[in-house]
Structure 1
């Protein structure tokens, strides 16, 4: 073995230049590329007996280079190694049949099966030569494979000079060499590792053997540093927008903040300017985004039709489209002290038709208002508190602004709860709010609810008596005083409840399988005396939908404007079957009912008073028929009127490793009746069908129809989706044909059909069935901005 003080390695960045793919700017919700159809194989097999260690990166610079060979000839100044020659330094290895090195001039020549390997790549070449002193290197007929991620290709010639290098006749693909579904070719690529940038000249993207894109000159990054430049464009077409082109421009302003400016051209609407600004601080961060479309051509093109629609239905004229369309949004968090955090979610649109005109899915029609809030929130071991303000903006042009709820400007709340003894707990819930509305009178409200409870429990039972006192007082605007009879009306009353339950279990065998069966009866008694409350205003109080959870609540209404009187007992029972081999729940069922001993006299306008007798039965059940098929349902039956109030059925079947079929039926008396069937059916490993039929039988209205076919290969995927969807609030339907081509490891062209399918088909990605929503964002002093996608 001969040791030479220093020998420059083959710069890996030259080859990596062809495969540079920085992290997307908004990758939180993005799924990693699927390589399951790619067999695990090496384009260039690993080299044996490299003798390298795990040292990488900057740590290898200070290491010596070890040279070994079967035969050493020449002189001390110009040694010549032959037979199994190897050079190693850290994780790097360079092997060849013959190496001639001149220590005086610093030149070297390696010939015969030149091989290079490190932790990120493998390279083979016919010949390598260079000069150590000038740090220049030249390789002939190069093939490479990335090891740290997918990618392989080659170059006829590579020339390097220090941090700069050039590749000639270079190729790159994530496909196996024998099955080149797509390939990127460039006549020449110049790379500068100091700046982290490369320039491709005369680059061509081929799908199969067909060239689909030619770029004469294209700059791109070769590492993960964020830098100013163009991101991938978005291209689409629709009947409303026409040809649609988005071109994001990324601005790397500083390590802790950046921006993206997005011009968007719509041939039928005009030129829109959008943008996003992101920032990080030592205790938080935020995102500001906006879009502005001056003189929207859609407004003038459909003005006559819009005017006729508004006159025919009596819609408020001020809700018509504005000439200039815009939106604004800000979301951010910031730690302000130990246990305290400021949070904001601010939104604004130029007119109530904005969401409908800039949305192409059913979800875009759902909100009738746009919600904004800002506040400071704190928590401790026994308490939570906050002060905030919120605002509602009308987003449904068919409605009047008067229907919007009051803004809370501001609202303060506190929740304190602490065990006083092993068998005694006490707490208080408090809220102070100022209600404001531009078209309706408001006022202030103070709501206090101190309570004490006696939580007793054993291994198989629990019993919790609870006593609370609720006080609600107002300071009303002058316009509300005549109806209330007082500028400062109030209400106070006690609330008594008793919650108890027992747990029984036994071991049983069904069909040869061992289960643990539980039986869980529960009683909940509630007593609240009647207090006349019709004189009190209704700021934020609405009756809640009757459900299983309401069986065990002390109020039928949301908000504090009404506290329902009650003398009632809930009787409920649940049972479960748990498979003892793995603890999985095989079956569960629950049923419950409220017995009203007295008529409940406190109501809100439009609410039917609760009479003496029994409530509707509330039932819920789920059954895992096997590990692939599950079914569940909910049902409410009112024995007084002998009618169903609610019914829902949901079933899911898992097809193979990736397929799924979902069916659901939802019915609520006088409100809705809907069916929803959606599926992903794999024909074979490459081809699959997708579809959805979402229909409202209550309105005789199709909400969304979808049919498509998908093709997937090792390194490329394609999707064609036909879609018919609810286009506006009048029930008009829109149509679209969407085609997306994905080149794995490079990017995709066409609309984002994958995200649309993910929302339409629950389980489109099998792991979505088991996702847990992320926790709210919190400040992180070590956080970094994600990198943009070029």
Structure 2
């Protein structure tokens, strides 16, 4: 056996025979600053080669890199040349006239580093293609970085075993440690006596929480399987499980989610343990069994799919055979809560879907079916409760559900297509009626409704032709329904009165035809014929003028603002038609006679910063005068003793991009004064603190309401949120939610209380980084 070494003035020597065994027959000593082969590079402070058996020993600052060939691409000239041919003793390539290539290129081929191994000491067995490394061992792959005291690496399979190892996954800040770690494949490991946290921590940092296990397997599908697992807080075990599955990828993974625990006076203790099933890349399901101590088992399932941004859907269903339900309304459950339902089968099915079919066609589906009105009040909290469901659907689809106390809940399927100034809409409406008393006619369904509207210019004129056509089949289980056809064609044109005046006139004719039907028990007061028809005309004209002035500003932020004034007068006329013989389904069936003028002035303010413009606010004031003064017995023709309408003022002000104020009021000129006030205000600062305050008042309706929201960072990692809905008219708090949130680097905890006149609940929610839904305790 022979050996040779390189020392002294040459600090770094590079041996290049890791992938080309024939180079081992070369002389034992190589002096170079840097060389490479087709696949591997190695550099170190000291390299020793042994020829029998064929092996290499390297010491000090060792870097071993595996390179893979890249697809050919256009070479980009650089200023420097890395002459690999000189280093490897190969014939010099032809000169590159436009500069040199700043990439590892051989024979026109390009490479990138696929694997990098660092260590203080390393030995390489050429025949077995294995490496033994010690001291500050680091294996850097595409997705993972492995740190260890020492290890054995099999180069052909890129597997190995390591001691006192740490694994860091780039994709989702996964951190694993173990006394003995075996790398079994691409991103797969077997760990003995180790722990895992799905959060990025420093090497010497004590994790705030972790899962530890005697045996851990990290699989290619993105799961860590832990046997004899413990959940630790600051290294102290607080929970044990003989078997645990932890997702270790940000992509959706099937498995159990964190449980949700709650307690209430009515239902007692409850716990829900959801199971998430990632069916494929586009669809998933969550099974949500919840056990209530006093009620029984509530089963739940959620299905979601996402095909594109405009094609997605979600539906959730819950069912409970409620042990508390009793036809005896003197039980403690009814007397303590004030609930009135007597059904034991209780459920809520809700969902939404948006779908784009191409060629301008879009659809929307909304489902909201509940067993009884009390359900949405009793099951208001938690993941499947009304509050979370409403907020989640509102955030995802831009629309939530109707108020939880509504007795009639709409289920709709809508289609729409728009093109060339025209639109076609289809609508199916089904009502879920949860009223306790259903003596009145049942709600109207639309099966279906079709609307066709358009606005097209008349050739070579400034006049436009517009129309609104509507067909609806009104159906109800009991009562009067109808097929109704309504069409309103109109001519609209500007009137050139003056270059300083803007004027427009519109003349329309409206015809409404009914084919009347009776359903179920019908209506004993039905005096309608089998068919009815209504014909009326309407006319509208508006004249206004726009005045604009710009005012320069001397400030550094804004250069100018402008004030636009639009005074106008508008006349509306609708013919007087007796409509007593028509059924009354909606506002189409009762078109009031009109003969009035409306006059007002609109003010718009804009502010400028260089070339940028934003709206500063507006101020609108208007009032109407009604000329109708006859009374012939028609409901629409009552004597008008007070022809002047209320004076309406609408004000909006946005002094900064983060502040908004809106105020509306109606003032009665016949002595009642202000009969309506509405205030909306909000502010958000640069760090995200949010404040809003809304006030509404309506005289004669017993409405005076004040709603406020505060969402602010307090100090360090503490956040607070307060939501209050206060009825000033009834001197009662309708709802109050207070939350205190602590958000740390790898975990969070939220303390929350929810108050309603019916119930007060307290919740504690724990969340762990990258582990999906939070762990909630609800009391």
Query: For the superposition of Structure 1 and Structure 2, which TM-score range results when normalised by the shorter chain?
Result: 0.7 to 0.9
Specify the alignment match of 2:619 in structure 1. Answer: 589
- Residue by residue over 1:152-179, the C-alpha shift from the partner in whole angstroms, topping out at 9 and shown as x without a partner, is 4533221133465312333344364466
Change (3 A) 1:82 1:609: farther
Q: TM-score, normalised by structure 2?
A: 0.77
Question: Is 1:275 the counterpart of 2:252 in the alignment?
Answer: no
Of structures 1 and 2, the one with the larger relative CO (CA 8 A, separation 6+) is: 1
Separation in 2, partners of 1:606, 1:656: 54
**1:226-625 maps to which residues of 2 (within 5 A)?**
228-253=254-279, 257-278=283-304, 286-294=313-321, 296-300=322-326, 303-304=329-330, 320-333=341-354, 338-360=359-381, 365-397=404-436, 400=438, 402=440, 405-421=443-459, 423-455=462-494, 462-477=502-517, 486-508=529-551, 512=555, 514-541=560-587, 560-581=588-609, 582-599=612-629, 613-625=643-655
**Number of equivalences:** 671
Deviation at 1:281, TM superposition (A): 7.3
Deviation at 1:291, TM superposition (A): 1.8
Does structure 1 conserve the Cα–Cα contact (< 8 Å) formed by 2:247 and 2:771? no
SS at match of 2:330: helix
Question: Is 1:169 the counterpart of 2:193 in the alignment?
Answer: yes
Does structure 2 conserve the Cα–Cα contact (< 8 Å) formed by 1:247 and 1:264? yes
Does structure 1 conserve the Cα–Cα contact (< 8 Å) formed by 2:373 and 2:404? no
Does structure 2 conserve the Cα–Cα contact (< 8 Å) formed by 1:353 and 1:395? no
Q: Which moved more, 1:530-539 or 1:710-719?
A: 710-719
Deviation at 1:446, TM superposition (A): 0.8
Does structure 2 conserve the Cα–Cα contact (< 8 Å) formed by 1:98 and 1:112? yes
SS at match of 1:390: strand
Does structure 1 conserve the Cα–Cα contact (< 8 Å) formed by 2:494 and 2:504? yes
**1:662-741 maps to which residues of 2 (within 5 A)?**
662-671=692-701, 672-726=703-757, 733-741=758-766
Separation in 1, partners of 2:40, 2:661: 65
Deviation at 1:656, TM superposition (A): 6.7
SS at match of 1:105: coil
Change (3 A) 1:135 1:515: closer
Deviation at 1:212, TM superposition (A): 3.0
Q: Which moved more, 1:463-472 or 1:283-292?
A: 283-292
Separation in 1, partners of 2:637, 2:689: 45
Separation in 2, partners of 1:121, 1:329: 42
Does structure 1 conserve the Cα–Cα contact (< 8 Å) formed by 2:408 and 2:432? yes
Question: Is 1:203 the counterpart of 2:229 in the alignment?
Answer: yes
Specify the alignment match of 1:138 in structure 2. Answer: 161
Separation in 2, partners of 1:323, 1:700: 35
Specify the alignment match of 2:676 in structure 1. Answer: 646
Separation in 1, partners of 2:354, 2:693: 39
Separation in 2, partners of 1:607, 1:710: 60
Separation in 1, partners of 2:370, 2:34: 63
Separation in 1, partners of 2:704, 2:737: 20
Q: CA RMSD in A?
A: 3.9
Q: TM-score, normalised by structure 1?
A: 0.76
> What runs of 5+ residues in structure 2 fail to find an aligned partner?
1-13, 22-32, 68-112, 388-401
Change (3 A) 1:325 1:605: farther
- Residue by residue over 1:375-410, the C-alpha shift from the partner in whole angstroms, topping out at 9 and shown as x without a partner, is 54333223222333211122344x536365411122
Change (3 A) 1:669 1:338: same
Does structure 2 conserve the Cα–Cα contact (< 8 Å) formed by 1:631 and 1:649? yes
The one of 240, 265, 268 aligned to 1:214: 240
Change (3 A) 1:745 1:577: same
- Residue by residue over 1:193-235, the C-alpha shift from the partner in whole angstroms, topping out at 9 and shown as x without a partner, is 4454431123333333543332232123444665653233222
Separation in 1, partners of 2:408, 2:636: 22
**Which structure: larger Rg?**
2
- Residue by residue over 1:279-322, the C-alpha shift from the partner in whole angstroms, topping out at 9 and shown as x without a partner, is 5679955444322212x122139743599889xx9x9xxx8331
Does structure 2 conserve the Cα–Cα contact (< 8 Å) formed by 1:602 and 1:609? no
SS at match of 2:585: coil
Change (3 A) 1:752 1:504: farther
Does structure 1 conserve the Cα–Cα contact (< 8 Å) formed by 2:302 and 2:317? yes
Change (3 A) 1:577 1:133: closer
SS at match of 1:454: strand
> What runs of 5+ residues in structure 1 fail to find an aligned partner?
8-48, 53-62, 542-559, 727-732, 754-790
Question: Is 1:83 the counterpart of 2:107 in the alignment?
Answer: no
Specify the alignment match of 1:103 in structure 2. Answer: 126
Change (3 A) 1:377 1:718: same
Change (3 A) 1:359 1:191: same
Separation in 2, partners of 1:211, 1:224: 26
Separation in 1, partners of 2:528, 2:410: 33
The one of 68, 77, 85 aligned to 2:43: 68
Change (3 A) 1:626 1:254: closer
Deviation at 1:636, TM superposition (A): 0.7
SS at match of 1:353: helix
Does structure 2 conserve the Cα–Cα contact (< 8 Å) formed by 1:405 and 1:539? no
- Residue by residue over 1:588-628, the C-alpha shift from the partner in whole angstroms, topping out at 9 and shown as x without a partner, is 21111122222487999899876562211111113345566
Separation in 1, partners of 2:125, 2:633: 98
Specify the alignment match of 1:117 in structure 2. Answer: 140
Change (3 A) 1:213 1:384: same
Change (3 A) 1:739 1:485: closer
